[in-house]
Structure 1
Amino acid sequence: MTEFLHPTVLFLIGAVLIPVLNGLLRKIWLLLVPVLAIISVATATPGDYGSLRFLGQEILIARVDKLSLVFATVFTIMSLIGMIYALHLKRGDQHVAAFAYVGSALGVVFAGDYLTLFLFWEGMAFASAYLIFAKRDQAAARAGFRYLMVHLTGGVALLAGIVIYGAANGSVLFGPVEGAMGVATYLILAAFMLNAAVPPLNAWLTDAYPEATVTGAVFMSAFTTKTAVYVLARAFPGTELLVWLGTAMAIYGVIYAVLENDCRRLLAYHIVSQVGYMVAGVGIGTEMAVNGAASHAFAHILYKALLFMGAGAVIYVTGRRKLTELGGLYRTMPLTVALYMIGAFAISAFPFFSGFVSKSMVVAAAGYDHRAWVMLLLTLASSGTFLHTGLKLPYYMFFAKDSGLRPPEPPRNMLIAMSIAAALCIGIGVYPAPLYALLPHEVDFVPYTAQHVTESLGILMFTALGFVLFLKSLDPEKTISLDTDWVYRKGARAFMWVADVPVARFEQAVSRFSETVGLRFLHRSANASLRADLGGVDAVVNGVASTILQGGRRLRRVQTGIVSQYAVAMVAGVVAAIAVYAVVWQ
């Protein structure tokens, strides 16, 4: 790979060296690695790199083309912004996890085969999970275990699909799926859709992101779902199912955001909604639609990170994240308010902000493809986004009632990171040509027409009017809403009940039988047949009985985290068995 320095290498080496560096030297290193990665991507020459044979399969470590470069460009830019935002952290563990996370995401983006993709796919799951556990409280630990449970299950499905796909096609090279969909492609598609948070496989996102650390949530908002959008665009462009799933996502996230009181959970639901535009664009599959999905992913990473940074800054200085506990912060945090609102205008697709020049491309592609319902629903979702992210959340977080809090602005490095993201949101919105030049296909789209600007402003202004008229109805309530995570939350409880009641009772019955009947029978049989010293036999028998009893006691002390791991193992075993059966059957 003489003409291409893989940025993953930079981040993985960077992660290894972080623990041995301290003070100013560590901070320089944390910024230097992302800068070098940006340069590496900017100077990359399109082509295939790192081709080799492994277990009879052709492995292609890096495939560099316009589709991979547009995602890699924004990933490396976001890594620099995220590191600036996290620069104040004293401990290096989150920095190490973030580097491993970014490096793994870039590994997926450049992967030319499914085996390479799978390794980095799992690397993303474990690295990002640490950013949840690093919060070090009970809620984060539970959310982290659920997050791992879901993503490891998705990883098993992906691996099963890869094995079947490789056996059927004789190759594991990663590219557009052609021909009829089979078991392998459905398993791979399901794994990709899980990481894209396509309902009903979306609850892991809104469950875990609010429980991550302040800085960790910023990184998580940028990489996992957008990496999934990339692999969908690479493998499944033009898949009709994705059009309707993506459109449903856009509406689904907006509806659930209505119920939210937690500021980061509300923003997480709008990740689901905005990724819906990208998934729908991939499903439409035309050049404009794929361009729209890629450009919207680029814009979304920046403005969503800015929104999470703004909410994170509030949590950092106040220790609170519920809208019912906040208000009146504009008095002492005016810079944070201003920077947050830039992100809010961008996600709401205001003219001269980045979302306007990217989101509208997906909507226009639906119109050009004669999909009136898709176009209408995506437009309605945009109105809902402005209602909740651009109006409701900032109103109740920064204005509304006076909560009595007088926090200072967050640390300077946080404000600098937010300012960079805000500048890019405005810069892309005012002058989108550099972004359009990065897209995988030639762009034939002009966002700033009189009709488009007028229509967009009309929808946004009527949304604002509705917010004012129905303000009291939008007051946040002190409630917690459950999504499809209800299934595995309740499922874990049901599993615990099975372990604690019928299984435990069966164990008790076995223990009583072994103590009253089994041991006596063994003693009498041994005395009658051997007439010898039974000291050694007694020791063995009693040892076996003791082991059974101790195992029963341990079973009664099973904890939720272990049950979650056991559930993962069960699911993994079932999926693996299905995969093996499918290979043999084919």
Structure 2
Amino acid sequence: MMSDLLMTINPGLFIIAAGMLCALVPLHSVRKTVMILAPIVAAYALFKGYSAGIGLAGEMTIAGIDLTTYRLDRLSLIWGYVFCFAGLLNGIFAFHEKAHISDASALIYTGAGLGAVMAGDLLTLFLFWELTAVSSVFLVWAGGPRAYAAGLRYLGMHVLSGVLLLAGAIMYQNYSGTFFFDGNEIGLGVPGGWLMMIGIGIKAGFPLLHTWIQDAYPKASVTGTVVLATFSTKMAIYALARGFAGEEILIYIGAVMTLFPVFFAVIENDLRKVLAYSLNNQLGFMVCGIGVGTAMAMNGVAGQVVLHVIFKALLFMSMGAVLHRVGTAKASELGGLFRTMPWTTMACLIGAASIAAFPMFAAFVTKAMIIAAVFEEHHYIVYLCLLFASAGVMEHSGIKVPYFAFFSHDSGKRPKEAPWNMLLAMGLASLFCIVLAWPWGGYQMLYNLMPMPEIAGEYVPYTVNHVITQLQLLFAAMFAFALLKRLGVYPPERRAQILDFDWLWRRPAVATLKWIDVMGARVEAYGGLTVKRGWSGIQRRLFAMFSPAGAMSQDAPSGIASVLTAAMLGLAIALLYFVG
């Protein structure tokens, strides 16, 4: 009976409880053991629950509101498995780190992300949604004093995301009478649909709403960036897949998301920031696939999420290992590290080949499903955009990151190899990047986990046409990189702050606030006495009219109290009218 009861509890709560325990446990070894075991226990709970056919569970009614706190189907299951695996990788990678707050925050963040993708209603989703923001900001602040302002901006964007999601959910509940989160009922055509999608879009890194990723991730701690890169954005992709599959506008939003990061990544010096832009690029493929909404597109999105979590974590781990040993991830200050960090170099190269979709490496077996689905739906311009973006990925993440970090010019730095636990985490991620793309049955294991495995089984990634086309695309990108370097026209690596759309609030917005502050001080200095005299006169007139002895109270003994009561009643009636 107890085991049956545990199977009906959202497994994200197990990991959150483990995170709260880590905040109280002083022993380093115990905390790290909990960090590694908690995701394994959650994954086992998912397996047992799905095997038992749980479906919907954790149903309760609070204040007349029906909640479904746990929904386990094929769409949520694949996200749940990869989130648990990411939690395991993070626990191993951070095993050497001795920080209560980072351990607790990472686990709570992991549990909140898992809880969100398992939520069956919008209110439960919102609660986990906001918990991811509150818990993860500590991982940004763990990066040091320079990360404090970035953490505040990060927190502000994520809280705004949650507010929009909640506002849209309430409007949808007023329309439908339920908070149940079902894509067959939700979309842009229902009240609150646009608010919910924009709120989700903030976390998904929609164009113009994306800059929190490049602002916060590179400033987080060595281990914090690896954790951050996994949950928030993929949780948002899940919410889009659950609630907005087939919305055509997402095709074009996704296409733009794949394109603009390519140009920023080419000129960026901070290699962790290059990977942050690459994250936006990969999210664009997923958003585009969700917009298409066909069975093959949705399978491609789910598979791409799994592999992206693994190879993106691998790339961030390799750059984290470099930062841990060298103290910088700036391309202008690195180079030649392959001499003393060969295993980290190999891990980075595997991650680079995986994200670039080389045959027999991760993304090769999933990204093409999305691109093919776009082509089959006759979105030919978007199809060409995705091909260009694929070549761009090869340039900035497939070539630039490993080249400038480990090869290029010799920086003269000879650091030690990464700690054993970092190597173990990178080795495990590297293994999965290869195994899940292996042509002799490996990729089929991934296809069997997809939301519609019967459709996925019809797609064959290893055809002569696909392999040759992909190799031509990749080698063309490699040739372009080599040619531009040879001609000396490739953008040089230099110490500089590359501003994105966040320029608007870093410069004009700050200048506007300073101007308002200065003008306020001047008004207070020169007009303060006049304002005070004017306000005093208004107060005297109000008292003369509404006081018990005033004109308005001659026939109404309650005076000002009755007026204020009537005003409040009118306001309440107006609010009830517009809200109800």
Shared fold by TM > 0.5? yes
Q: State which of 466, 470, 477 in structure 2 corresponds to 1:463.
A: 477
Aligned pair count reads 527
- RMSD (Å), alpha carbons: 2.2
The 5 A counterparts of 1:404-415 are: 404-415=412-423
Distance 1:514 1:391, change over 3 A: closer
Partner of 1:3: 7
Deviation at 1:583, TM superposition (A): 7.7
Amino acid at match of 1:477: R
* Equivalent position SS for 2:314: helix
* Structure-2 separation of matches of 1:583 and 1:466: 63
Match of 2:383 in 1: 375
Distance 1:2 1:508, change over 3 A: same
Mapped to 1, the partners of 2:270 and 2:412 lie a distance apart of: 19
State the secondary structure of the residue aligned to 2:56: strand
Q: Distance in 1 between matches of 2:387 and 2:480?
A: 16
Q: CA deviation at 1:27?
A: 2.3
For residue 100 of structure 1, the aligned residue among 76, 98, 108 is 108
Deviation at 1:154, TM superposition (A): 1.6
Asked whether 1:473 is paired with 2:489, we answer yes
Summarize the Cα distance change of 1:481–1:180 in structure 2 as closer, same or farther, 3 Å threshold.
Answer: closer
Letter aligned with residue 342 of structure 1: I
Deviation per CA, 1:457-497: give whole Å up to 9, x if none. Answer: 11111211111111132232322211111122235413531
- For 2:578, the aligned partner's letter is V
Tell me how far apart the structure 2 counterparts of residues 492 and 371 of structure 1 sit (CA, whole Å).
38
Mapped partners of 2:534, 2:90: distance in 1: 66
**1:56-95 alignment runs, 5 A limit:** 56-95=64-103
Pick the aligned partner of 2:199 from 160, 167, 191.
191
Percent identity over the alignment is: 39
Report the equivalent of 2:47. 42
The answer to whether residue 127 in structure 2 is matched with residue 119 in structure 1 is: yes
Q: Which has the higher contact order (CA 8 A, sep 6+)?
A: 1
Measured against aligned partners, the alpha-carbon deviations of 1:538-578 in whole angstroms (never above 9, x if no partner) come to xxxxxxxxxxxxxxxxxxxxxxxxxxxxxxxxxxxxxxx9x
Is the CA contact 2:341–2:415 (under 8 Å) kept in the aligned structure 1? yes
1:13 aligns with 2:41: no
Residues 261 and 323 of structure 1 are in contact (CA less than 8 Å); yes or no, is this contact kept in structure 2? yes
What's the CA shift string for 1:171-226, capped at 9, x where partnerless? 11111145762551000010011110010111111111111111010011111111
Other-structure match for 1:436: 447
Contact 2:7–2:45 (CA under 8 A) maintained in structure 1:
no
- What SS is found at the alignment partner of 2:229? helix
Give 1:535's aligned residue: none
Aligned with residue 33 of structure 2, among 7, 23, 28? 28
Report the alpha carbon displacement of residue 513 of structure 1 after superposing the two structures with TM.
Answer: 6.0
- Take 1:26 and 1:314, find their aligned partners in 2: how far apart are those partners? 25
| Partner residue in 2 for 1:584 | 578
- Alpha carbons of 1:178 and 1:16: their partners in 2 closer, same or farther (altered >3 Å)? closer
- SS of aligned partner of 1:501: helix
Query: Could you tell me whether the CA contact under 8 Å between 1:346 and 1:425 is conserved in 2?
Result: yes
Question: What pairs up with 1:294-309 in 2 under 5 angstroms?
Answer: 294-309=302-317
- Distance in 2, Cα, partners of 1:445 & 1:583: 54
Q: Secondary structure at the match of 1:49?
A: strand
Distance 1:582 1:415, change over 3 A: farther
**Structure 2 residue ranges without an equivalent (≥5):** 537-570
User: Residues 388-427 of structure 1 correspond to what in structure 2 (within 5 A)?
Assistant: 388-427=396-435
Contact 1:164 1:583 in 2 (8 A): no
Residue 216 (structure 1) aligned with residue 224 (structure 2): yes
Q: Deviations over 1:287-342 (max 9, x none)?
A: 00011111001100000000000011111111112111111111111111000100
Instruction: State the Cα deviation string for residues 500-529 of structure 1 (Å, max 9, x = none).
Output: 20112222235566999999xxxxxxxxxx
Q: Which moved more, 1:184-193 or 1:370-379?
A: 370-379
Q: Secondary structure at the match of 2:12?
A: helix
Separation (CA, whole Å) in 1 of partners of 2:240 and 2:131? 19
Q: Is 2:521 aligned against 1:504?
A: yes
Q: Does the 8 Å CA contact 2:318/2:348 hold for their aligned counterparts?
A: yes
Secondary structure (helix, strand or coil) at the match of 2:66 reads strand
State the distance in 2 between where 1:357 and 1:240 align: 24
TM-score of the aligned structures, taking structure 1 as reference length: 0.86
CA contact (8 A) 2:335 2:404 kept: yes
Partner of 2:437: helix, strand, or coil? helix
Aligned 8 A contact 2:10 2:69 in 1 = no
Q: Residue type matched to 1:148 in 2?
A: L
Note the alpha carbon deviations across 1:38-59, whole angstroms, 9 max, x for none.
2112222241001111232210
Higher mean C-alpha deviation, range 416-425 or range 474-483: 474-483
One-letter amino acid of the structure 2 residue matched with residue 278 of structure 1: M
Q: Any idea what the Cα deviations from partners look like across 1:3-30, whole Å, max 9, x if unmatched?
A: 3443212111111211324032222222
Structure 1 residue 581: deviation in Å?
A: 7.0
Give the corresponding residue for 2:320: 312
Which secondary structure state, in structure 2, belongs to the residue aligned with residue 291 of structure 1?
helix
For the 8 Å contact 2:187–2:247, the answer to whether it is kept is no
- Letter of the 2:397 counterpart: T
- Aligned with 1:258: secondary structure? helix
The runs of at least 4 aligned residues of structure 1 exceeding 4 Å deviation read: 510-519, 580-583
Kept after mapping to 1: 8 A contact 2:175/2:191: no
2:155 corresponds to 1:161: no
The offset of 1:390, in angstroms, is 1.2
- In structure 2, do the counterparts of structure 1 residues 180 and 89 end up closer, same or farther at CA, with 3 Å as the change threshold? closer
Deviates more, 1:176-185 or 1:282-291: 176-185
TM-superposed CA distance for 1:374, in Å, is: 2.0
Q: Does the alignment pair 1:141 with 2:158?
A: no
Change (3 A) 1:294 1:582: farther
Q: Indicate whether 1:129 and 2:137 are aligned.
A: yes
